[in-house]
Structure 1
Amino acid sequence: MAKGLRKLRVEKCTLVGLSYGGIVGFKMAEMFPNLVDAMVITCSVVALTESITCAGLHRIGFSSWAHYLIPETVEGVKKLLDFAFYKLPWIPDFVYRDILEVSFVS
């Protein structure tokens, strides 16, 4: 795949993978990090490398998966939902605060 993309003079690409294609995509991103700009993977086992994980978390503003998946602030809940949904509509802050209190604060 990478060789073919290079022949087509593709400098950066976004990989989209489903199931086994996701595993292939992760491996391609690991082997050719300068070629793979972004990835969309679904229905695939996790094959994240530490470098992919760190780069992705840094890009979205989190230091660990725990900080992303278990937010401690209203802003954290907003980011979590914004990344989890495509075109999330405007939601008032009190809804995010309620989600935080009910779901994440004990």
Structure 2
Amino acid sequence: MDLDLAINKLTGSVPSSIAELTKVVQIEIYNNSLTSELPAVGWLKMTALRLIDISMNRFTGTVPEELCSLQLESLHLYENELESKLPKIISNSSNLYELRLFGNRFSVAC
């Protein structure tokens, strides 16, 4: 099952109830006008999730650690206003083959 809400001129924030979609394999909500921080609770329930594309929105804050603990294959966060240390994003991502982060405020931690 996929959730594709891309290019819909959506505004506001992503509700934390999105984590109740436990059978979703792909979430694509890119190219909207979504704002605020990404919800920080419930992502670990989404064990089937393999692709997240929230690029080209106006998300702020850090990438939730739960999001970084998923077994994602593809993660697109580009062109937002996110801030995180890169090792946190990729440290547990052994299945990750596609990572797009440009256009944010990420930093590198040694």
TM range (shorter): 0.3 to 0.5
- Structure whose residues are more often strand by fraction: 2
Provide TM-score, normalisation by structure 2.
0.32
Provide TM-score, normalisation by structure 1.
0.33
Structure number with greater CO (CA < 8 Å, separation at least 6) is 2
- Structure whose residues are more often helix by fraction: 1
Larger-Rg structure: 1
